[in-house]
Amino acid sequence: MEKVWLKSYLNGVPHEIDTSKYSSLADVLNQSFNRYGGRPAFHNMGTTITFAELKEKSLKFASYLQNQLGLKEGARVALMMPNILQYPIALYGILQAKMIAVNVNPLYTARELQHQLVDAGAETIVVFANAAKLVEEVRSAAGLKHVIVTQLGDQLSFPKNYVVNFVIKNIKKMVPDYNISDAISFNDTLRDGDQSKFNKPSIAAQDIAFLQYTGGTTGVSKGAVLTHGNMVSNLMQASGWIDSLIKAGEGIVITALPLYHIFSLLANCLLFSSRGGLNVLITNPRDMPGFVKELSKWKFTAMTGVNTLFNGLLHTPGFSDLDFSHLRLTLGGGMAVQKTVAEKWKEVTGGVLLEAYGLTETSPAACMNPVNLQDYNGTVGLPLPSTEVAILSEDNKELSIGEVGEIAIRGPQVMQGYWQRPEETAKVMTADGYFKTGDIGVMDPNGFVKLVDRKKDMILVSGFNVFPNEIEDVVATHPGVLEVAAIGVPCEKSGEVVKLFVVKKDENLTEVELKAFCKKELTGYKVPKHYEFRSELPKTNVGKILRRELRPD
């Protein structure tokens, strides 16, 4: 294949990366700890920790896992937290101990949480107190042996730590009562973890770093197996791309997307840490006025987000009055960036909103627009260094420039497969190592990739994957439902929302009742926003429901 995109690379961007430069993410982190020790690494709610403090705390946590809990190399440890300082401490401890991080959405329902924990074989979880009741509910069925609980303010400076924890629990009533008699306090793990007893393991590129859950192509959530080599490669690819814009040892990145999401995990948590930058963690970005107030305190150089986040900021009073003179990089991913939002962003901030493209299965970055882009161009950019993008026909033949087909990606960042699901892996990997994304696109003569449509039935709500099969399986359990189909419909605020089509079994079934059922069984962004009752649903001659005939023209 001719790599036509290379001619569009900026001077200084490497065509290939040296994947042997680092042996593991632990190697990357240790170099950052030693090189940037005195620099601030993470900030949250008024408290900053340096790289040296992050090293000490993460090794104490790693030692606790090894010595107090007796966890072995390869143990799966689940992380169920919003953007708080405890997250990078725990994550970096897990990675350095050669254990496997399993990121969990804190908004999961009991059903979703249990499935992921069981599928991953995670016997240990670190959870913030607000979700501890949920863990209590599924613990037995999920086989959890160790539950480490942290309150939101645990790592904040005194006296704010006590104030935040008191307000969250007693004033705002955000912590449901739970009873986990052997729960371990996160702060106790740092108190009792002996850094001198940490047993530093030998970690190789092929060792698993993450089981990052995604819907894949169909059905229930599956764990993408991402190795240290996959993640290090993507770090190097992204680092080489932005190096001319933000030098190592510099940079303040606003981290509003949740760190459990693959985009924020790589682009913020790992990338900026590897380069000595400061992550400003936004715990509740939905509080837009509070978010803008926090932004006013920083001379931030970078921000990542999804279209809905940028759109929300642009419509929040006070945002346009901020100082954007230091902002060099605004990166949009997770869902399509809308032209109107990109144009408004440039008008207000003076900077271009760069669109990138990737998937959980590609660690995630595969394509990105050049950092010198002057205006929104409607593409997701060029393949990153050491990445090949092919446009394939239905029979997996490579198509020519300008022809529309399925986007396929090959490179060192592509996952090893789906955790313990070889059949699902085989569906998405070609014989010559390309990952078939399920997205339909086209490449122009200069190598820029444009998304055209999605082959998958996946619905993208504010950057999060929602899979119709899961929604339909849940709704079908309602005794009043005979048949059900779920599709995505356009939404100005979130890109898409779920619309449900139902054939009633019980004529007394109402929209109110069905919505309440969905809210109980599904995470918020998966809950259908539109409901339509029909006497029958369109089907093939073998009885398969035709979702495409339900979609608006």
CA 535 from centre of chain:
39
**Six-digit token pair at 51?**
């790289």
Query: CB 72: neighbour CB atoms within 10 A?
Result: 12
For the beta sheet containing 208-214, the strands, ordered from the edge strand earlier in sequence to the opposite edge, are 184-185, 146-150, 124-128, 76-80, 100-103, 208-214, 222-227
Q: Residues 472, 484: contact at Cβ < 8 Å?
A: yes
> How far is residue 412's CA from residue 363's CA, in Å, rounded to a whole number?
9
Long-range contacts of residues 519-522, Cβ cutoff 8 Å, at least 24 apart:
520/109, 521/109, 521/111, 521/474, 521/477, 522/109, 522/112, 522/471, 522/474
CA 153 from centre of chain:
23
Burial 202-239 (b: 16+ CB within 10 A, else e): ebebebbbbbbbbbbbbebbbbbbbbbbbbbbbbbbbb
The model's pTM is: 0.88
State the residue for tokens 């669109």. Answer: 355
Are β-strands 40-44 and 47-50 bridged in parallel, bridged antiparallel, or unpaired? antiparallel
Beta bridge partners of 303: 254, 330
**What type of residue is 364?**
P
Are β-strands 302-305 and 252-255 bridged in parallel, bridged antiparallel, or unpaired? parallel
**What type of residue is 1?**
M
**Six-digit token pair at 285?**
């970005």
Residue 36 DSSP label? S
Radius of gyration of the chain from its Cα atoms, rounded to whole angstroms: 23
Residue 548 DSSP label? G
Q: Left if phi > 0, otherwise alpha if psi is -120 to 50, otherwise beta: which for 93?
A: alpha
Closest CA to 334 of 218, 248, 463: 463
From the number of C-beta atoms within 10 Å of its C-beta (0-12, 13-18, 19+), residue 543 rates as exposed
Residue 265 DSSP label? I
**Six-digit token pair at 498?**
């779920």
Q: Residues 21, 28: contact at Cβ < 8 Å?
A: no
Are β-strands 252-255 and 481-491 bridged in parallel, bridged antiparallel, or unpaired? unpaired
Strand ranges (E), 68-142: 76-80, 100-103, 124-128
CA torsion angle 192 261 356 234 (round to 10): 40
**What type of residue is 268?**
N
Q: Residues 459, 551: contact at Cβ < 8 Å?
A: no
Q: Left if phi > 0, otherwise alpha if psi is -120 to 50, otherwise beta: which for 143?
A: left
> How far is residue 463's CA from residue 264's CA, in Å, rounded to a whole number?
11
| The pLDDT of residue 540 | 62
Query: CB 443: neighbour CB atoms within 10 A?
Result: 26
Query: CB 323: neighbour CB atoms within 10 A?
Result: 11
pLDDT (tens digit, 0 to 9) for every residue of the chain, 553 residues total? 799 999 999 999 999 999 999 999 999 999 999 999 999 999 999 999 999 999 999 999 999 999 999 999 999 999 999 999 999 999 999 999 999 999 999 989 999 999 999 999 999 999 999 999 999 999 999 999 999 999 999 999 999 999 999 999 999 999 999 999 999 999 999 999 999 999 999 999 999 999 999 854 445 789 999 999 999 999 999 999 999 999 899 999 999 999 999 999 999 999 999 999 999 999 999 999 999 999 999 999 999 998 889 989 999 999 999 999 999 999 998 877 888 889 999 999 999 999 999 999 999 999 999 999 999 999 999 999 999 999 999 899 999 999 999 999 999 999 999 999 999 999 999 999 999 999 889 999 999 999 886 666 778 899 887 888 789 889 989 999 988 999 999 998 999 999 999 999 999 999 999 999 999 999 999 999 999 999 999 986 555 688 888 988 6
Beta bridge partners of 150: 128
Q: Residues 28, 241: contact at Cβ < 8 Å?
A: no
